[in-house]
Each structure stands twice: as structure tokens, then as C-alpha cells.
Amino acid sequence: MTGKEILFALINFAVLVAGIWLFGRKKIAEILRSHRDRVETDLQDAARSHEDAQRLDEDLAQIRRAAAEREEALLAESRSKAETNSAAALARRTAEAEAVMAVVQDGEEQLRRDMQHRFADEAVAAVAEETAALLREERYAPARAALQDRCLAEIAGLLAATPNDLLRMEQQGKLEMTVTGAAPLTDEELRALESAARERIVSPAGLGDLPVICLDEPDEAVIGGIRLRLGDTVYDGTLSHRLEQLQIRGENGTGTVADVISAIRRRLRPESSAVDVYQVGRVIRLSDGICRVSGLSDVMAGEMLTLPGGLRGMVMDLERDNVGVVLLGDYTAVQEGDAVRRTRRIIDVPVGEALIGRVVDALGRPLDGKGAIHAKERRAVESPAPGVPDRQSVNRPLQTGLKAIDALVPIGRGQRELIIGDRQTGKTAIALDTIINQKDQDVLCIYVAIGQKESTVASVVQQLRQHGAMEYTTVVCASASEPAPMLYIAPYAGAAIGEHFMYQGRDVLIVYDDLSKQAAAYREISLLLQRPPGREAYPGDVFYLHSRLLERAARLSDRCGGGSMTALPIIETQAGDISAYIPTNVISITDGQIFLETGLFHAGVRPAINVGLSVSRVGGAAQIGAMKQVAGRLRMDLAQYRELASFAQFGSDLDKATQAALRRGERMTELLKQEQYAPMAAADQVIVLFAAGEGYADDVPVDRMARFESELLAYVHENLPGIFDTIAGGKKIPEEGLAQLRRTIENFQKTF
């Protein structure tokens, strides 16, 4: 750049600065003033903020001081309350501990008293052994000899022959007797017995000069007295036999000290012979809880027999030369050749008030560890069902507490209603809810567990106890670990226990859970007894097995006391096949069935009742009047809903009527769902079903139906309590009451 160009540039710069100064100084001054004002304002704000911060610090310090004072006051108050509560809690715990200790001490004292007054099995056995050893001593030899003479004289006067003995004598051409004593008999004593036999048996039978043979088989084990065997009949007056009977009477620790002492004195006094006459047989074959016994030609079908070790047996087959016996218990100790003794008593179980609240086996023996059952009466496990003149129609409801059942398939007292469905569909749950709902209803309950695991039965008993139902319930248990004969007779034992109360004019509910396992057990017994199988390998009389059991459920006429026994048999199906052999048998015997469907159960509908296949042949006769009013349309609405629901899934365009029916059916299905162990009073069921049936729940979301039900019941209980008394009375709700109920539900709708 040249010097001239530099000069011109400086001149231009000077001109520009002069122009800016002349024309922009005012603006620059304004900018400077504005900046100064902002700075002053910021300084003032900062001063004020500093003052506010100082005041805030002072306020915070004051708040901290107040909080500290409050904290100290609260701590002091807490310490005082804690000390007071600790003292009260300590006093309460001390009182509870003292109460518990008092109960424990009372229990110990009661147990000590019981032990002082009661013999155990081992104690009775020890008494019998010591007594036997004592009686064998030489000083009692004269008394034993005198007892033997008296036994001979008494047996000679008791000799008699059964028809089978006479037939055997004709076939063998002789009369043979076996005599057993502690010492050999003299020839004179043997001739006296032979003469008595000829006089009392041979001559009356017209057998002429039939030879009489008396075999003498001494045995020191009899201790004293005489035992004579003629055919199957035994005339036993030995001391060993009396001690055996003493030990049997002491089973289960039922004999008190006074009883045992009295029995010893009565049975063992020297001047008493007390010859016992009974029949014995011998085990000739044994397999899987079934044995064949020779002899016992006069035994009765269904008679109870005794085997070694206290084992019981029941006669099931009467063959020409032997009898088939089912063994009721652990048969592992039984061997071929063991003696089997008649009791001359058809198999029976103890009955009466002593069994209420107890858990027993199929023979009525306790399983709950609560001691012996002191029942005053016994009843045969099988007895004839009441005849038609002794019955009356079923017209009194037995409330189950389940809305789906009480409304759709009502059960009456004296009815037989089958519960049927696949495994794990809630069959037992329905039965247990029904038992729980009988509390304060004056209905005694019997639950018969057939072929279930013992843990399952224990769980059932625990649930019943938790809900206070064991106070009026008896549980008969024949678990899966027991032999088939116990499963076979368990339902009959339960029916016998219930019949005792029914004939006393009381109402009884009995649950058979389940009869499928009883049928399988009977099939096993029949096949082992070599009976010919029929359809599906079941014996031909399996229908009679269940019919003679379920026909015992009835409502008796007023002339017979007016009692009732309601039966709820349970049958397990395979894949929902209710047309199988056993289900069709029981369906034809009962007065209706409650069919539980697996699909509904898995869909969350519980109880999973199939409305179309479930039916009660008693119907409205077993419902209270108010339930008839509200439940009349329920079955039809639900059946229509199921059909429409299956049809609607194939199309999307539905008319308003179809949509309304689907909406109501969906809500009714949701409303019928019910939790287990939560039965509902009949009056509450009526209110809920009335509200749903009248359409008051049509606009309620499905997931809020449970809340709608609970809040509606609470509202009606509070605002219209009188209607519950009307419903509980069993009569229909009058029109005025229905109008009041509608207004109450409408008012509730406004607040829901």
C-alpha cells in the first residue's frame, strides 16, 4: 500500500468516529444508564436476599429448637407408654402362661387319674400271664382237680350235635370226640363221657349202636379244667380259655381296674366252671386278605370271626366244604392251620353319641388318639332299608351354602344326590362345604373316606376342626393302605352309624367319598373269591352293592320318628365319561346328580357345575319359598347363555337381545362362583340372585361382581334387615317386600 492510500484510510476512519460520536452518543448514554440501573437493582435484590436468608436462618433455628423440644417430649411420652405397655404385656403374658400351665396341669392330673383307673393292653396281658403262673402252683392242685370234675359233669349235660355233625357221623360210621385236660383222664371219666354222648346224641338221632370214641389228649397249657371238641364245636371250661377271654375283654385299654379285678374273681373262682361253647375252623388257604376256612359248617353269611392276634374276619362265601373269609386288618401274621372262631354275631359297629366328633375305622375303632369309645349300643353294618310305608316325601331343604347348588340342583333332607366328575374337579370341596354349612342346623354329619391317603383324610379333619364342624361330625376312614375288605365295609359302617340317629328322629348327612374305590375294592374281593366277573370285569352284583347302601337314605314317616338321612355319594369318572358302568349304575339309584366339568374348573368356574347335565329329581320341593321365586329363571338363563356363547364365537354381528342375554349370563356365571370353605346363608343367596335376575348387575363390570355382591349384602343388611327374617322363615317374599327390596337395590346402585 502507498503513502497516499494510507492517508486516505486514516481520514475515512476519523470521519467515521466523528459521525458515530455525533449521532450515537445519546444512545450510548442511554445504554450506560440502563446498565447502571440494572446493577443498582441487582445490588438491592442481593441485599434483600441476604436479609431474607438471615431471617430464614433464624426461623430454621427456631424450628430446630421446637422440634428438639417436641422430640424430647415424645421420647418421654414413648418411654412412659412403653413402660406401661411392657408392664401390661408382661402381666398379660404371665396370665396366659398361668392359664396354659393350669390347663397342662389339669391334663396331667386327668391323665394320671386315667392311668390309675385304666388298664392298658400290656397290663391286662401281664395280669393274665401272672395269674396263669400262679394257678399252676402245686397248692392249687386240689382246686384244679375239683374244677376238672365239675367241667366233666357240665359238659356231659351240654353235649349236642349240629346237622353237619350228624351227617359226618353217618358218613364215617362213628362219633369221635377229643378231650383235653391238664392231666390224663381216667378210664372211668372217658366211659362217662362216651355214655353221655350216646345218650344225648346217638340215641336221639336214631343211629342205633353207632360206636362212640373219646380220644384223650392231655396238655399242661390248659392249666385246669376240660376242653372237649366234637366236630367243629368246642366245649371249653379250661382256665387258659378264661384268661384268654379276660385279655380279649381288655383290648384297647377299655377295662378299668375294678372291671379287671371283678372279672378275675368271677372267672377264676374255684367253684365256677363256666363252660364256653363255640365253633372253630382252620385256615386252609390264604392270599391277599382272603382266606379259606374249613369247618364252621353252621356259620352265617356276614358273621364276624376272630383269628389269632385279635384279627377280625367276615364270612363272604359259603361253599360245601369251606367258607370264604375276608380279613379286616393286617393279615401278615395269619398262617395256614390257624384256628378261626365263630362269634355268632353279624359284623357290627358301635353307634351313639360317643362317636360324634371322633375319627374311627371301618370297625368303629378309634384312630384319633383320643382314647377308647364307650358306646352303649352296636348296630349291624348292613340292615334292611326302610320300606315304602315307613317313608315320607322329601320336602325339607338341606342347605349346602353354595349358590349354584341351592338354586339350581337343590338337595332335600332324605335325598340321595350324586356328586360326579373327573379327578381334581372339586367333588370333595362341595361335600366339605355342605358339612360346614350344617353348623347350628341340627344336622349330624358323617364323612366316609374310602381309599384316600391318610394325609388327605388328616387334612379334611383339620379343616372340619378349624371351622367348628367336628363338633357334630363323625369321620369313618378306610385309607388306601388298608386291605380291600376295609374299603368294602366302610360305607356300610358309616350308614349304620347314621341310621342309629335317623331312627331316633334326628337329621343326618352322610358323604361317601368315594364309591368308585369301594366298587374297585369289591371287584378285588370278588376276583380273589373266584367269583365270575361280568361287564368291565366287575361282578354281576355290583349294582346291588350300591343300591342296598344308598336305599338306606330316607326321610322317615312321623310314625317312625320323622328322622332323615341324606346321602351324598361321590363317583370319579374318567375323561368325563358318565356313561361308564359304575357311573350309570349309581345315577340310576340316586335322585339326581351334580356333574362337575373339568373345563369349567380350569376356567376358574368353581364350583364347576355343568348346568345342563346336573339335575335334582326333588326339585323345588327342597327349596325355601323365596329361593323358588328368584331361581326359577336362573337355569334357563344360564343354559341359554351357554348356547349363545358357543354360537357367538363364530360371528361378530349380534342383535341387542343376544348381547343382553350374553351380558347377563356372563355376570350370572361370575356371581355363582364361590370360594371354598365359605358357605353362604340362604337369605344372602336369595338377595344376590334376585338382584342379578332383575338386571341390576347388567352394567357392573365382570371383574367387579364379587365386590358388587359383598357391598350389596352389607347395604341390604343395614337398610332392610327385616327381609332376611322373612326369607329365613321359608315363605315367599310378599309383593310389598319385593318392592322394598327393589327400592333398596336401586338406592345401592346410585352409590356403587
Q: Taking 60 as the threshold, does the pLDDT of residue 258 lie above it?
A: no
User: Please, which pLDDT band fits residue 517 given cuts at 50, 70 and 90?
Assistant: very high
**Torsions phi, psi for 587 (to 5 deg):** -60, -40
Using CA atoms, how far apart are residues 594 and 613, in angstroms rounded to an integer?
8
* Distance between CA atoms of residues 708 and 285, nearest Å: 68
**Consecutive H or E run containing 407:** helix 403-408
pLDDT bracket for residue 527 (50, 70, 90): very high
- Between CA 254 and CA 257, with CA 255 as vertex, the angle to 5 degrees is 140
Would you place residue 104 in the very low, low, confident or very high pLDDT band (cuts 50, 70, 90)?
very low
Percentage of the chain beyond pLDDT 90 is: 45
Residue whose C-alpha cell reads 336305599 in the numeric block: 551
Handedness of CA 542, 546, 552, 554 (dihedral sign): negative
Grid coordinates in use for 409? 340342583
Confidence of residue 261 (pLDDT cuts 50, 70, 90): low
Q: Which alpha helices (H) appear in 551-677, and where do they start and end?
A: 581-589, 598-602, 625-631, 634-648, 656-671
3-state secondary structure of 220: helix
**341 belongs to the catalytic site:** no
pTM: 0.78
Mean pLDDT for all residues in the chain = 83
CA dist., res. 57 & res. 411, Å (int):
80
Q: Which of 298, 179, 306 shows the shortest CA–CA distance to 237?
A: 179
Query: What are the beta bridge partners of residue 477?
Result: 449
Buried/exposed code over 487-498 (b: 16+ C-beta within 10 A; e: otherwise): bbbbbbbbbbbb
* pLDDT for 114: 45
Q: Quick check: 483 and 419 in contact, CB under 8 A?
A: no
Q: Which residues 6+ apart lie within 8 Å of 593 measured at CB?
A: 417, 418, 419, 420, 578, 587, 613, 614, 615
* Contact criterion met (CB below 8 Å) for 195 and 214: no
Mean pLDDT of 374-399: 93
Higher pLDDT, 276 or 48: 276
Mean pLDDT of 447-476: 95
- Please answer whether residues 722 and 698 qualify as being in contact, where contact means their C-beta atoms are separated by less than 8 angstroms: no
Could you give the CA distance from residue 621 to residue 591 in angstroms, rounded to a whole number?
Answer: 13
pLDDT of residue 144 exceeding 60: yes
pLDDT score, position 252: 40
Q: Cβ of 40: how many Cβ atoms within 10 Å?
A: 10
pLDDT score of 113: 46
Task: Return the C-alpha cell found at 447.
Answer: 364323612
Q: What gap in Å lies between CA 476 and CA 497, rounded to an integer?
A: 10
Decide if 148 contacts 224 (C-beta within 8 A): yes
Dig out the grid coordinates for 128 from the structure.
393274665
The answer to whether the CB of 305 falls within 8 A of the CB of 340 is yes
Q: What is the DSSP string of 125-149?
A: HHHHHHHHHHHTSGGGHHHHHHHHH
The rounded radius of gyration (Å) of the Cα atoms in the chain is 45
Does the pLDDT at position 518 exceed 90? yes
Query: Which range among 96-100, 203-207, 310-314 shows the weakest confidence by mean pLDDT?
Result: 96-100
- Residue pair 257/243 in contact by the 8 Å Cβ criterion: no
- Residue that the C-alpha cell 396354659 belongs to: 100
Angle between helices 682-693 and 656-671 (to 10 degrees): 160
Supply the DSSP symbol for 412: B
Cell of 695: 338386571
pLDDT at 335 over 80: yes
Question: Closest Cα partner for 737 from 748, 751, 724, 750?
Answer: 724
- Quick one: which H or E segment has residue 283? strand 276-287
Sort 448 into a burial class: Cβ within 10 Å, 0-12 / 13-18 / 19+: buried
Could you tell me how many helices (H) and strands (E) the chain has, helices first?
23, 20
Q: Contact at 8 Å (CB) between 175 and 212? A: yes
How many other C-beta atoms are found inside a 10 Å radius of the C-beta of residue 367?
17
> CA dihedral defined by 399, 403, 409, 410, rounded to 10 degrees?
20
Amino acid at 238: T
Q: Which residues contact 612 (CB under 8 A, 6 or more apart)?
A: 639, 642
Q: CA distances (Å), 715 to each of 671, 681, 682, 746, in order?
A: 17, 16, 17, 11
| Residues linked to residue 326 through DSSP beta bridges, in sequence order | 290, 314
Q: What residue type is 191 in one-letter code?
A: R
Q: What is d(CA 432, CA 511) in angstroms, rounded to the nearest whole number?
A: 9
> Span 169-185, mean pLDDT?
87
Quick one: pLDDT band at residue 478, thresholds 50, 70, 90?
Answer: very high
* pLDDT value for 112: 45
Distance CA 340, CA 436 (A): 44
106 pLDDT tier (thresholds 50, 70, 90): low
Q: Name the one residue in this structure whose C-alpha cell is 361321590.
A: 570
Distance CA 419, CA 513 (A): 9
pLDDT at residue 650, rounded to an integer: 64
Report the Cα 205 to chain-centroid distance in Å: 57
Q: Which residue has the cell 366298587?
A: 519
Lowest mean pLDDT among 509-513, 551-555, 713-717, 728-732: 728-732
The DSSP bridge pattern shows strands 276-287 and 233-236 to be antiparallel
Q: Which of 378, 617, 635, 742 is catalytic?
A: 617
Q: Which of 166-180, 450-464, 700-714 has the lowest mean pLDDT?
A: 166-180
Q: Which residue from 709, 714, 711 is spatially nearest to 692, judged by alpha carbons?
A: 709
Q: pLDDT digits over 642-691, tens only? A: 777 777 666 567 777 777 788 888 888 889 999 999 999 999 999 999 99
Confidence of residue 46 (pLDDT cuts 50, 70, 90): low
Mean pLDDT of 245-273: 53
Q: How confident is the model at residue 123 (pLDDT cuts 50, 70, 90)?
A: low
Q: Cell 369321620, residue?
A: 475
Residue in the structure block whose three cell numbers are 367276615: 314
Helices (H), 505-614: 515-528, 542-550, 581-589, 598-602
Q: Write the single-letter amino acid at 38.
A: R
